[in-house]
């Protein structure tokens, strides 16, 4: 459940932040946040140049797969929600519910899938620091969206 919350929070950050992006556009904003994240993780892990060169291709592949999985998860959620609203049959709902659960499981299994890949390029202590740094960065972004206050992100009017 924590992983699901983590993934949904990341997507929320992405969507809410897009609404607050600088005037340069979505692509510029995404590049800026990604650069901030890379710098943050590099510093938190005290990566050497060799470690960074080995880590980032693996990390980028994991992140890309994660966004693809989350896209499928969100889509299956919307389809399920719509089917419930439309009063679809239990048989139809059962199929959609199974697809929703499967999409969530796939999304949550990525950390386990990429753990051995990270361990090939980093010592285990730095792999652990990677997961901690990602969470720390996510929390910093949420705090930024909240205007430095705990609670729900501000809504744009």
> In tens digits, what is the pLDDT along the chain, a chain of 157 residues?
444 434 444 444 444 444 444 456 778 888 898 999 999 999 999 999 999 999 999 999 999 999 999 999 999 999 999 999 999 999 999 999 999 999 999 988 998 999 999 999 999 999 999 999 999 999 998 888 887 665 555 555 4
* DSSP H or E segment with residue 111: helix 110-121
CA distance 131 to 72: 23
Six-digit token string for 119: 């361990």
Both ends of the chain: CA-CA distance in Å? 31
Six-digit token string for 45: 């892990």
pTM above threshold 0.85: no
Residue pair 139/108 in contact (Cβ under 8 Å)? The answer is no
């Amino acid at each position: 459940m924590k992983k699901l919350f983590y993934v949904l929070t990341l997507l929320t950050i992405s969507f809410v932040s897009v609404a607050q992006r600088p005037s340069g556009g979505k692509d510029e904003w995404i590049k800026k946040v990604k650069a901030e994240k890379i710098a943050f993780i590099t510093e938190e892990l005290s990566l050497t140049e060799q470690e960074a060169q080995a880590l980032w291709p693996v990390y980028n592949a994991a992140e890309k797969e994660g966004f693809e999985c989350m896209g499928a998860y969100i889509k299956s959620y919307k389809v399920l929600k719509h089917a419930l609203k439309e009063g679809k049959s239990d048989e139809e709902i059962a199929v959609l519910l199974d697809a929703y659960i499967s999409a969530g499981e796939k999304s949550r299994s990525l950390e386990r899938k990429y753990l051995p890949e990270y361990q090939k390029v980093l010592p285990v202590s730095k792999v652990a620091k990677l997961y901690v740094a990602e969470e720390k960065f996510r929390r910093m972004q949420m705090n930024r969206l909240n205007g430095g206050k705990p609670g729900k992100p501000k809504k744009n009017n």
